[in-house]
Chains A and B, each alone.
Chain A
Amino acid sequence: MKTDHILLDHGGGGKISHSLITETMLPIFDNAIISRLDDGAIFKIEEKQFAFSTDTYVVDPIFFPGGNIGDLAVNGTVNDLAMCGAVPLYLSVGLIIEEGFPMTDLKIILNGMRIATKKAKVKVVTGDTKVVPKGAVDKIFINSSGIGLIPEHVNISGHNARPGDKVLLSGSIADHGITVLTQREGMNFDSPIVSDTAPLNHMVKRMLLACEDIHVLRDPTRGGVGTALNEIAISSKVGIRIYENKIPVKDEVSGICELLGFDPLYIANEGKLLAFIEADSADEVLKTMRKDEFGKDACIIGEVISDNPGNVFMQTRIGGIRIVDMLTGEQLPRIC
């Protein structure tokens, strides 16, 4: 897509975002590691496999039910490393703070990060702080990068899905995105929805003990489950079939999506993962996930097929079929 300016769509996680990365950024950085476009970079140093990931957090509002921007910054990067099969070890944190930002708010955010690192069992070992004049950023932006060690024999990548694999989802979708949306100025719902931000590395570790050969792990953040499945279908050159009646969506989330005309399949999650597992091992991994505090509602939502590679289909509740395409730009609420 040709445009002279960056649009919000370029950050939306959908096709337009994807095209900015593949058409503009990849050709510039041009190497075999980055071009795999997994959640993190995977490389070897002296026979040990590492995962390295970075993410920048600009969420608005910065405080929301279930957490704040600090929690996201820790959990998000921990999860990106976990999706590579890595044990997350060390994080860096970069803060860009707007002049006038209240010190008390900064302390709440930092304390949130401290608690999150303890829960995830990682350490923030280096950081940077910049303060910019009022208006140059919106309150506070946080970048976090992380490094983790991938155990031997673990080979997880978006390129590894195979026909016959089962697709597992760790719990209800769209909780985070809808929580943030409802808190934003102009939308006041009295709903008990909270963000699902959570570190998934401990659950992943147990999953790998149950089945060393997990093919794909992905946390469906911006762009939601729909976008994540499409990325995997394209990378692995497979088709994916999912079942509408198997996908868990909380009633409150469903209600707000209906009201505004949003499709929960494309809304961000911050404490959920998709796992692609060989059929024979799927039930064992599912049992393991359900024992974890962040996988209690885990379920099998579909399977990988060899037909129509690169496409994702959903069998609807009434037995019909629809395509689950990749989101193009940002979802916009309906008019009527």
Chain B
Amino acid sequence: MSIKHLEEYRDPEISRSIIDNINKISQKKIRLMEVCGTHTMSIFKSGIRTVLPETISLLSGPGCPVCVTAQHEIDAFIALSRTDDVIITTFGDLMKVPGTTSSLQGERANGHDIRIVYSTFDAFDIAKKNPGKKIVFLGVGFETTAPAIAASILSVEEMKIKNFFVFSAHKLVPPALLALMESSNVKIDGFILPGHVSVIIGTKAYLPLFKKYHIPSVVAGFEPSDILQAIYILVKQIETESPRLDNAYKRAVTFDGNKKAKQIMQDVFEVVDANWRGIGSIPKSGLKIRKEFEAYNAENVFEIETIGSIDPKGCDCGDILRGLKIPPECRLYRKTCTPMNPIGPCMVSNEGTCAAYYRYHSIE
């Protein structure tokens, strides 16, 4: 019997029995943070919040790469798009994020050459077909996407393509979790750890976090029964006061992660401090292209002029990303900030907490 790794994990009987088990053991009022934006979306799409007992609150964390890209980085992307002979290639989600004065979508409507691609290979094709242009790939994402971007820089070296550049705004998840825990006013009882990021970095990457805070932490997959299983394990750990770092996504995640991917990342990027939108500077949480590859580093090659970047007034994305507020508590939510007219990145991105709330949350 072949396993398709889809339907099996959506089996309603399995999900319902896990929900029953959660209901049986959950006594304490707890707050669990699901870090990853895709988890945010999966939880909403499957209506998991509506089947959990009232003792369990789920907070959405900063694992949405578009949401945490700093305003000045967005402004830099926009400035680059206005540069002569530049073709911007980007993942789709970035198109609508509002910068201080515009967005990539707005700039495309203004006639600048901005193309949505599904991978860096698409960007290579564009570079080869447009030798007179400079193709800039916007590198946004966590450890899931960084290895592929790193591999593209190595390939470009080999293929001697001279008109391909990367703007790296990549960020790392474990330092952000440490920063969250260090923040005094955040109350988190357990982490639902990201699935795809963990495929790359392995569960061992979370050991420093766990050793310092002994916070219940479980790596989860994305199907309803994956997430419910992770919640069950966390509730059990909390009820029995036996915190652990567990892996509930063993079909994809190992202790060591993907060593080759990690090596490629290390070869091309160095770890630097980075500015996370709404959170501020987090030490050693960003990736910068190493000096030996500076010929491909857009920040190095282009003179990017931006006016002072201003974060939108009244926007609570920062508090929402840190799990301090839920979207309905932001005074702009559903009033001036909607998917039609997004003010902050949490509303723009498909995986942003505010967008997920707006799209999927039942009306109360």
Instruction: Give A residues with C-beta under 8 Å from B.
Output: 1-3, 5-9, 15-16, 19, 186-187, 245, 251, 254-255, 258, 260-261, 263, 308, 311, 313-323, 325, 328-329, 331-336
Contact = CB atoms under 8 A, between A and B. Distances in A.
A200 B122 CA distance: 38
Interface string B344-363: 00000011000000111111
A9 B103 CA distance: 14
A127 B16 CA distance: 58
B6 interface: yes
A323 B363 contact: yes
A318 B109 CA distance: 42
B362 A317 contact: no
A6 B111 CA distance: 12
Contact of B340 (A1, A186, A245): A1
B360 A323 contact: yes
B125 A332 contact: no
B41 to A, nearest CB: 8
Contacts of B118: 186-187, 260, 333
B196 interface: yes
Interface string B116-144: 11100010010000000000000011101
Given A332-B95, A336-B145, A318 B16 contact: yes
A318 B359 contact: no
Contacts of A323: 359-363
SS of B interface (majority): helix
SS of A interface (majority): loop
25 contacts: A1-B340, A1-B341, A5-B109, A8-B105, A9-B105, A263-B45, A308-B363, A314-B47, A316-B46, A318-B15, A318-B48, A318-B51, A320-B48, A320-B50, A321-B362, A322-B47, A322-B361, A329-B339, A332-B93, A333-B92, A333-B118, A335-B65, A336-B38, A336-B141, A336-B144
A318 B350 contact: no
Interface of B: 4, 6, 10, 12, 15-16, 19, 38, 41, 44-51, 65-66, 91-96, 105-106, 109-110, 116-118, 122, 125, 140-142, 144-145, 196-197, 224, 228, 338-341, 350-351, 358-363
User: Which of A7, A186, A320 has the most B CB atoms < 10 Å from its CB?
Assistant: A320
User: Which of A2, A16, A328 has the most B CB atoms < 10 Å from its CB?
Assistant: A328
A263 B38 CA distance: 13
- Nearest first, the 10 A-B pairs at minimum CB distance are A320-B47, A332-B92, A328-B339, A318-B15, A5-B109, A336-B144, A316-B47, A320-B50, A335-B91, A322-B360
B123 to A, nearest CB: 10
Nearest to A336: B144
A333 B6 contact: no
A6 B105 CA distance: 10
A286 to B, nearest CB: 23
B249 to A, nearest CB: 15
B350 A261 contact: yes
User: Which of B41, B66, B338, B359 has the most A CB atoms < 10 Å from its CB?
Assistant: B359
B287 to A, nearest CB: 14
A27 B41 CA distance: 37
Contacts of A19: 340
A6 B144 CA distance: 34
B46 A322 contact: yes
Contact of B46 (A255, A263, A317, A333): A317
A328 B145 contact: no
Contacts of A2: 341
Contacts of B196: 336
A186 B94 CA distance: 18
Contacts of B106: 3, 5, 7
B2 to A, nearest CB: 12
B362 A245 contact: no
Contacts of A251: 4
User: Which of A1, A325, A334 has the most B CB atoms < 10 Å from its CB?
Assistant: A334
Given A261-B350, A319-B12, A15 B224 contact: no
Contact of A6 (B96, B109, B140): B109
Contacts of B51: 318-320
Nearest to B41: A261
A334 B351 contact: yes
Given A328-B339, A333-B91, A320 B46 contact: yes
A45 to B, nearest CB: 39
Given A187-B118, A261-B350, A334-B38, A318 B360 contact: no
Nearest to A315: B47
B359 A325 contact: yes
A186 to B, nearest CB: 5
Contacts of B109: 3, 5-7
Contact of A317 (B15, B66, B144, B360): B15
Given A323-B362, A335-B91, A15 B48 contact: no
Contacts of A15: 339-340
Contacts of B10: 317
Contacts of A328: 338-340
B110 A5 contact: yes
Nearest to B66: A335
B61 to A, nearest CB: 15
Contacts of A334: 38, 91-93, 350-351
A321 B51 CA distance: 8
B125 A186 contact: yes
A320 B117 contact: no
B42 to A, nearest CB: 10
A323 B48 CA distance: 13
A16 B145 contact: no
Nearest to A311: B363
Nearest to B11: A317
B16 A319 contact: yes
A316 B11 CA distance: 11
A172 B110 CA distance: 38
A258 B222 CA distance: 11
Contacts of A321: 47, 50, 362
A313 B50 CA distance: 13
Nearest to B362: A321
